Chains A and B, each alone.
Chain A
Amino acid sequence: MATKKFMFVNRKAPYGTVYALESLEVVLISAAFEQDVSLAFIDDGVYQITKGQNTDGIGQKNFSSTYKALGDYEIKKLYVEKESLEERGLTPDDLMDLVWEDEDDDWAEKPSIILVDRSEMTDVLADQEVILSF
């Protein structure tokens, strides 16, 4: 099977709707097909990867730690839009420390989050072969 560039675009906050969790599950399943998978976090999608999420008060499963497993699934490109953070009063420091381990470099941890501005995000999207929106 030829490898294609797959992009999952996440634009919704977690928990209020099921989109974020559905996207994450499809991402994990798609990893089995060994495609070139990347994720984009735009608009309210940036809330999916904030650190310190605590769902005790709403009785839902906190799935934020699952994003930390993406590196194990060879998903190493998480594009986050700067403007989306700024509009929400957030900074890159508010995001989880998401990394992947480089097996060829003695399992060194390398950052997965790639901060891009809106015009760079446009280019990243234009470069994809398959885009799935959530």
Chain B
Amino acid sequence: MSEPLTVEIWSDVQCPWCYIGKRRFETALADSGERVAITYRSFELAPDTPVDYDGTPADYLSERKGISREQAAEMMAHVTGLAAQEGLAYDFDHVHQTNTVLAHELLHLARERGLQAELKERLLAAYFEQGRHVGRVEELVALGTDVGLDPEEIRAALADHRYLPAVKADTAQAAAYGIRGVPFYVFDGALGVSGAQSPETFVAALAQAREARDSASAGAGATA
């Protein structure tokens, strides 16, 4: 049995294409049968946003892009339709625009406990589908507990920010790579894919990464 490919995925909890991309990548994995070990890396799309942002996502987009609220609402309706094609029920009427640094800190705790994949899915569903507030400590405690994390450990970690350096390291690595947008996928630390590509594209990327791995292994064997 071959070793799984490593896949690092830079993304943010409040990135609508990241959840869509997650579903498409899952489809690709099912279609290809490829084995992978996924690590979610932190990327904050709006680190200057206050935890308790006083407005709707339409307000936020309107302010950020200098467009009308009606235009922002149209954009969100469009992405809601695209998400629905992947089986996701985005509900922007109840989304709480917020700061996601604590959610990223929690994802690093979950990684150490072997629960990162479960928490990533929980946070995305909570934010986009269930109107949960993923910027507040007690909400994060509840969501982390849902996937099996210890509530007291969550409170302690989010109070002393022991995983903030890991979040910042991911951000710095993204900058070093030249990553300016998410989702961004890196296969075996060598091949990059930008955006919520189609499952077919992800299947091709997985095949190319596997081929590169096998070629490297064959080369190493030939020189051994």
Q: A and B: real partners?
A: no
